[in-house]
């Protein structure tokens, strides 16, 4: 199977971003959601993006942020890709001058394919675990059998991934990419560099 792409999310420090890039991450994610313990300011994010080497994609995660606030962040932080993790409509995700991915929280009974079709302009969809009241970063995996074999968009698999289970996830789901945050942390918002390397190595070995 093609090489899986890897995103390390919840980055709050330059040194963690550089460690992820050095270990082979394709993308790093930063959380612009004040309620998250991994939230960053625009100034923090700008410093992180400025430190990234070439060909590492910078992703900003947003949860139902008003368009004016999002625009103010984009004026400061040159993000490559936007990730919408709330109840945003397709119109709310478009029109920001950046490609976007839409996160969908998966639970039994969902018609995942139909939900994906609601976002025709998305560059991809991120499938995460549904936990009531928590838009992401739950640290819990969902039943990967709920992921349809064929979807109209590239699939980024998230939710409870760790160095120990990411190889199985890649082999079973065969996603375009995998996304991890809590599974490679020393504490919330602080990455364990050994876990980051182990995660990336395990994901790549499964291909």
The residues annotated as belonging to the active site are: 9, 128
* Beta-sheet pairing, 185-187 with 190-191: antiparallel
Encoded tokens for 76: 């400061």
- DSSP characters for 16-65? HHHHHHHHT-SEEEEE--TTSTTB--HHHHHHHHHHPPTT-EEEEEESS-
What does the alpha-carbon distance between residue 27 and residue 199 come to, in Å, rounded to a whole number?
Answer: 14
Name the residue among 121, 125, 75, 123 with its Cα closest to residue 103: 125
Encoded tokens for 140: 């819990």
- Is the CB of residue 25 less than 8 Å from the CB of residue 4? no
């Amino acid at each position: 199977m093609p090489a899986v792409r890897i995103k390390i999310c919840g980055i709050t420090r330059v040194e963690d971003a550089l460690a992820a890039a050095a270990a082979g991450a394709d993308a790093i994610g930063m959380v612009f959601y004040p309620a998250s313990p991994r939230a960053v300011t625009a100034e923090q994010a700008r410093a992180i993006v400025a430190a990234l080497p070439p060909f590492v994609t910078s992703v900003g995660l947003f949860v139902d942020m008003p368009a004016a606030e999002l625009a103010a962040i984009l004026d400061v932080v040159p993000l490559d890709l936007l990730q919408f993790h709330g109840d945003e409509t397709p119109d709310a995700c478009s029109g920001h001058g950046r490609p976007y991915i839409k996160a969908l929280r998966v639970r039994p009974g969902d018609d995942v394919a139909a939900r994906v079709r609601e976002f025709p302009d998305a560059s991809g969809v991120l499938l995460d675990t549904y936990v009531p009241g928590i838009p992401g970063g739950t640290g819990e995996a969902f039943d990967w059998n709920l992921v349809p074999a064929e979807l109209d968009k590239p699939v980024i698999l998230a939710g409870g991934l760790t160095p120990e289970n990411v190889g199985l996830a890649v082999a079973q789901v065969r996603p375009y990419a995998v996304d991890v945050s809590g599974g490679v942390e020393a504490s919330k918002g602080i990455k364990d560099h050994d876990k980051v390397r182990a995660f990336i190595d395990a994901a790549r070995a499964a291909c």
